[in-house]
Amino acid sequence: MTPRGTHRVVIVGAGLGGLRVAEHLRRQRYTGAITLVGDESAEPYDRPPLSKAVLVGTMTDTTLAKDIPSLDLDLRLGTRVETVDTSDRSVVLSNGDRIGYDSLVLAPGAVPRLPAGVGVGGGVHVLRTIADSLGIRAAIADGRRLVVVGAGFIGCEVAASARRAGVDVDLVERLSLPLVQVLGEAGGRRAAELHREHGVRLHLGTGATPVTGPDGVRAVRLDDGTELECRDIVYGIGVTPDVEWLAPSGIALDDGILCDSLGRTSIPGVFAVGDAARWWHPLLGAHRRLEHWMSTTGQAETVAHAITAGDDIAVPTTVPFFWSDQYDVKIQGLGFVDPSDDVRELEVDGKPVLVYSRDNVLRAVVGFSVPTAVLPLRKSIMSGVDVDEVVARLTE
């Protein structure tokens, strides 16, 4: 039964996951109180455009909800939740307020990593917030050279957007290929070709150290001593779940907030979604954090359902989906992509498709602008079909 009346849900983190939980609660006719607390001052906004349209300069407003008042929220922006007290079911805010909850949803997201001894400022950038994105945009607006360190999705997207904005780009990666850690060798080779074709200078298999002067960054030094002169560096070397502040709460943490497949944490009444949450995935037989937009929205719907319907709901069997836009290519992935799986490289309609399998069972598929090859495979991945059958179908 839908909890009503004096029931209160407190949501920590007013990003994608937090907002979507609130929206799904209202959609599922939850009439109790919802307090949404976010430490950023902006209304909830979308992050994918930050490394794409905002950097290119074709978009500045990525606000997610066009009509926040209709959700009837107790919205606390510019306010951080400092502590969670699970014994009396309350949270304490940075302004000293204590708010009681019946259900608590944690959606604090993640924070970008930086090498030890390196801090943001003086030409050193990371990319997580709208302010970060506008800061990079302003720095590259005059077309000056940009060095991107880390060729994961964020680094590759920044490199692509900067090239589209007419900027001279060097992309430095410690591993042998861009995206190799997420897609494996075959995907990494395709990504390398794509960036070279668009004029990005790749520096692979090397570390990078910022060289600073009195005015901030003046170069990046590679392991062989080469110096790439630049005034700005964007680090895209991964993120850490923003959960340190939860350590005293007693909620089980292990590379994120440990959750079952309904988003329930180790403490009754406390749920978690999004980049900080490490859910149990029945299909994978493991806990995994998924730093993807679609996973966050799916988790938000499940958690809202778990709050409104109690423990009676069925565990949804879902297959993760992600996308990444680089130049005019949309990379789309379905399933638990694991570079250590067997990877077959196909051409479908002249575009690269990577098929991942283990013990001949289909596990995931990644396409470079081939949605018709990727999206219909959801059921095949869920039921674990023979990979030869799928390859035959894709190439017939």
Residues that bind ligand FAD (CB under 6 A): 12-18, 37-40, 47-48, 50-51, 80-81, 107-109, 127-128, 154, 242, 245, 274-276, 291-294, 296, 322-324
Write down the least CB distance from residue 289 to ligand FAD, Å.
Answer: 10
Q: For residues 163 and 344, which CB has a smaller minimum distance to ligand FAD in the complex?
A: 163
Q: For residues 12 and 104, which CB has a smaller minimum distance to ligand FAD in the complex?
A: 12
Write down the least CB distance from residue 367 to ligand FAD, Å.
Answer: 14
Q: For residues 177 and 276, which CB has a smaller minimum distance to ligand FAD in the complex?
A: 276
Cα(148)–Cα(324) distance, integer angstroms: 17
- Distant-in-sequence, close-in-space partners of 58: CB < 8 Å, separation ≥ 6: none
Write down the least CB distance from residue 380 to ligand FAD, Å.
Answer: 21
CB 40 within 8 A of CB 12: no
Q: For residues 127 and 147, which CB has a smaller minimum distance to ligand FAD in the complex?
A: 127
Write down the least CB distance from residue 126 to ligand FAD, Å.
Answer: 9
Q: For residues 20 and 305, which CB has a smaller minimum distance to ligand FAD in the complex?
A: 20
Could you tell me the two tokens for 260? Answer: 């079952």
Q: How far from the centroid of its chain's Cα atoms is residue 312's Cα? A: 30
Q: For residues 271 and 293, which CB has a smaller minimum distance to ligand FAD in the complex?
A: 293
Write down the least CB distance from residue 224 to ligand FAD, Å.
Answer: 30
Write down the least CB distance from residue 129 to ligand FAD, Å.
Answer: 7
Residues in the chain: 396
Three-state secondary structure of the chain: CCCCCCCEEEEECCCHHHHHHHHHHHHCCCCCEEEEEECCCCCCECCHHHHCHHHHCCCCCCECCCCHHHHCCEEEECCCEEEEECCCCEEEECCCCEEECCEEEECCCEEECCCCCCCCECCEECCCCHHHHHHHHHHHCCCCCEEEECCCHHHHHHHHHHHHCCCCEEEEECCCCCCHHHHCHHHHHHHHHHHHHCCCEEEECCCEEEEEECCEEEEEEECCCCEEECCEEEECCCEEECCHHHHHHCCCECCCEECCCCCECCCCCEEECHHHEEEEECCCCEEEECCCHHHHHHHHHHHHHHHHHHHHCCCCCCCCEEEEEECCEEEEEEECCCCCCEEEEEEECCEEEEEEEECCEEEEEEEECCHHHHHHHHHHHHHCCEHHHHHHHHHC
Write down the least CB distance from residue 360 to ligand FAD, Å.
Answer: 28
Write down the least CB distance from residue 17 to ligand FAD, Å.
Answer: 3
Write down the least CB distance from residue 14 to ligand FAD, Å.
Answer: 6
